[in-house]
Structure 1
Amino acid sequence: MTTPRTSPRPALAGDGTARAAVTGIGVTAPNGLGKEPWWEATKSGVCGIRPVSRFAPDRYPSRLAGEVPGFVAEDRLPGRLLPQTDHMTRLALVAADEAFADAGIDPQELPDYAAGVVTAASAGGFEFGQRELEALWSKGGQYVSAYQSYAWFYAVNTGQISIRNGLRGPSGVLVSEQAGGLDAIAQARRQLRRGVRLLVTGGIDSALCPWGWTAHLAGGLLSTADQPHRAYLPFSAEASGHVAGEGGALLILEDAAAARERGARVYGSVAGYAATFDPPPGNGTPQLAEAARLALADAGVGAADVDVVFADAAGDRDADRAEATAITALFGPRGVPVTAPKTMTGRLSSGGASLDVAAALLALRDQIVPPTVHVERPADDCPVDLVTGGAREAELSTALVLARGRGGFNSAVVVRGCP
């Protein structure tokens, strides 16, 4: 049933649902390294999708990707970490450093067990793993790095961030592909409710190497277009797949009362969350709309309170149609502005949804909805108010972020700005 956008604003839920305050943001993205460069590029519609440069892509049917520009690990991390970390983990460590600095927190000054790490991952350190497998095949087991035992592991970002920053509180990792970034934030929010003071959370991913590329291609959903402006067109009648990318965002989540007590700058709060799982194809209805409804209920808000939706934006005609159906079921046809800034970065696996949460928080801060680039207008069977052509100024206080992971994962997060 559609909830009219003109329905009365419901009473907000108590502090218990809004106590997860975001005080720091760290970003490594294909259209900007660092929070503010990325956000300025995103507001301006600058695309970071280009031909793959990390390996020779000529023999593959898909040759475009979103690669983080200007990242030189040697300039940003201690040399001792380089032999033991995959490119993905190096991106995550740098994003965590920025998030702490942005929050005005020195992690070494935190009490023992006061802070933890919850990240999302889709696979682990593919590039590191490929390199060590090549050594195994060509030279023998004695040439395989001892760091291979964990550098490839999907929990490695959580572990390395914890070790580097001395974070000994409750930690974990979520594995639900593109939905993982939201699921990790939700798990961090649960830890806050249990009394943990601070969590580093979100997702950073990268698998842009021949081994990882083969895995991307195996899904059958990568676009084979050669031009960036034609490759990833979610909700368009010309949609023909997506572009893979790397990077994402890490957030500092704090108890709102503790953040206020220390005088922290707060971007907003994670006010609601829910997750559902789709039935097998042909055996039921996709459950994305239900995840969104449950997240709104968790936040104590109604559809009429949502000012913008950050879409999952699969770039596949069937999946886009299903998401448009879910959105219109809640808001009515073209009932709420919808945007997909990931058209500038590609789909970042576990990093994509947390980057959307960062974009939602900054959109609420600046009162502007970033554009969905390259899409001229949505298809007739996707009747959503897609923000295209450029950023749109708007009065924003509440955003809904949607994400779907391959295999049937659906997640939704409600983000609210500061009063």
Structure 2
Amino acid sequence: MTTHAPLTDSPAGPTDGRRDTALVTGLDVRAANGSGTEAFWQSALEGRSGIGPITRFDASGYPSRLAGEIDAFDPVASLPSRLLPQTDRVTQLALASATEVLQDAGLDPAVLPEYGVGVVTANSAGGFEFGQRELESLWSKGPRYVSAYQSFAWFYAVNTGQISIRHGLRGPSGVLVTGQTGGLDAVGHARRMLRKGTPAVLTGAMESALCPWGHVAELTGSRLSAADRPEDACLSFGERATGQVAAEGGALLILESAASASDRGRTRNYGELAGYAACFDPPPGSRHRGGLVRAARAALMDAGIEPAAIGAVFAEGAALPELDAQEAAAITEIFGAHAVPVTAITSLTGRPGAGASALDLAAALLAVRDGLIPPTADVGRIPASYRIDLVTGRPRPLASTAALVLARGHGGFNSAVVVRRAKP
């Protein structure tokens, strides 16, 4: 990957007939506004927000006191008891989601070759809450009271490892650490694995760092909203936008080659991962432009479609005026002013690191499946200079069978994915 040239799997142009179609045959979503794919989707279509006051710890002394917490999750009911003392909450969420996504795909790893199912996830925080607890034990009681599981429970790669071990997924594995773009980058890497011969890959991103130590780390970025009311926070593309909201959650999916799905008689899917690209922004002060336009155009080229074929853009919606203006400018440069519906799912869920783009991807797949674009939260007035058609209030029909998902990570990461309804 270079500073200027986007990374795709087909640099010479669109995919050809020699490359197998990558289908999403399973999906599971964990979010503040709904856990489980259909619960999340219903909430998204209703424009129901999951953002509220932090309850996981006393946040009264912090400048940011709102978050997107997942309430409906009981690790004791979801996981074997032996796993509970050795895993952070983020890994518990990932393990529970992995079980659901395999069931949703109807995928029994035993029916595929021994090394036929890989795992690649993204994470940007690791097991913060577990780490905080063990640090407290270290300083208050001494080193003998630090759990041996601390050696791996904090690590951002632990979700991939624990999922692989529990389900016997012995195919190629990996982890992506690219900030908010990670959810898209993991899926892009999974498609690369398919093209190298792996039949299926469990992929996506999950995050959870809603503890004092994790929250302090988020605050150092100076991007969190100090609003006291949920309706005043995370106003993606809104004129009154003042910042983001920390959150937990994400989405996992099964990305599978069309040949593998056909061989095992799988006919139902959520859509096709048709295009992917990623690139870095140029160095600060450079005469070169930001990378989001380049990543989006490269993803469209990888999918072999023109901008006019896109029915909706699932935007990052950073809820910071400078970043929102940049993204709006990128969208209008590609599509034209007010030319494509735009929505920002994280205005309803908060922003769970790499899990944010995974949630956007899940919403885009469901939009393609059902032909509906979920609305952005009520963000109030949108600056006229943005020149975008932001979907608010109620769902809107999707006028085509394809959608574009955009993501940016702090430090210059840019990624884009094109999804479309799979051909029968």
Q: Which range, TM-score by smaller chain?
A: over 0.9
Once the two structures are overlaid, the 10-residue window that deviates more, 102-111 or 372-381, is 102-111
Cα offset, 1:395, TM superposition: 2.7
The yes-or-no answer on 1:276 pairing with 2:276 is no
In 2, distance between residues paired with 1:234 and 1:359? 16
Structure-to-structure mapping, 1:14-413, within 5 angstroms? 14-15=16-17, 19-264=21-266, 265-283=268-286, 284-413=288-417
Aligned residue type for 1:372:
T
Aligned residue type for 1:149:
S
In 1, distance between residues paired with 2:209 and 2:91? 11
Aligned residue type for 2:83:
L
Cα offset, 1:108, TM superposition: 4.4
Over residues 205-247 of structure 1, what are the superposed CA-to-partner deviations in whole Å (9 max), with x where a residue is unaligned?
A: 0110000000010000000001111111111111111111100
In 2, distance between residues paired with 1:155 and 1:335? 40
Distance 1:16-1:250 versus aligned 2 partners, 3 A rule: farther
In 2, distance between residues paired with 1:406 and 1:150? 25
Query: Percent of counterpart pairs with the same letter?
Result: 58
Distance 1:51-1:260 versus aligned 2 partners, 3 A rule: same
2:419 to 406, 415, 418: 415
Contact 1:112 1:168 in 2 (8 A): yes
SS in 1 for 2:332: helix
Aligned residue type for 1:316:
L
Contact 2:239 2:380 in 1 (8 A): no
In 1, distance between residues paired with 2:122 and 2:386? 30
Number of residue-to-residue matches in the alignment: 409
Q: Which runs of 5+ in 1 are unaligned?
A: 1-10
In 2, distance between residues paired with 1:395 and 1:16? 30
Cα offset, 1:262, TM superposition: 2.1
In 1, distance between residues paired with 2:361 and 2:304? 19
Over residues 32-77 of structure 1, what are the superposed CA-to-partner deviations in whole Å (9 max), with x where a residue is unaligned?
A: 1111111111111111000001000000010000011211100110
Aligned to 2:10: none
Over residues 299-332 of structure 1, what are the superposed CA-to-partner deviations in whole Å (9 max), with x where a residue is unaligned?
A: 1111111111000111111110000111000000
In 2, distance between residues paired with 1:230 and 1:108? 49
Q: TM-score, normalised by structure 1?
A: 0.95
Aligned residue type for 1:401:
V
Backbone CA RMSD of aligned residues:
1.3
Contact 1:31 1:69 in 2 (8 A): no
Cα offset, 1:16, TM superposition: 5.1
In 1, distance between residues paired with 2:18 and 2:348? 35
Aligned residue type for 2:378:
H
Contact 1:66 1:245 in 2 (8 A): yes
SS in 2 for 1:411: strand
Aligned residue type for 1:230:
D
Contact 1:178 1:404 in 2 (8 A): yes
Contact 1:18 1:269 in 2 (8 A): no
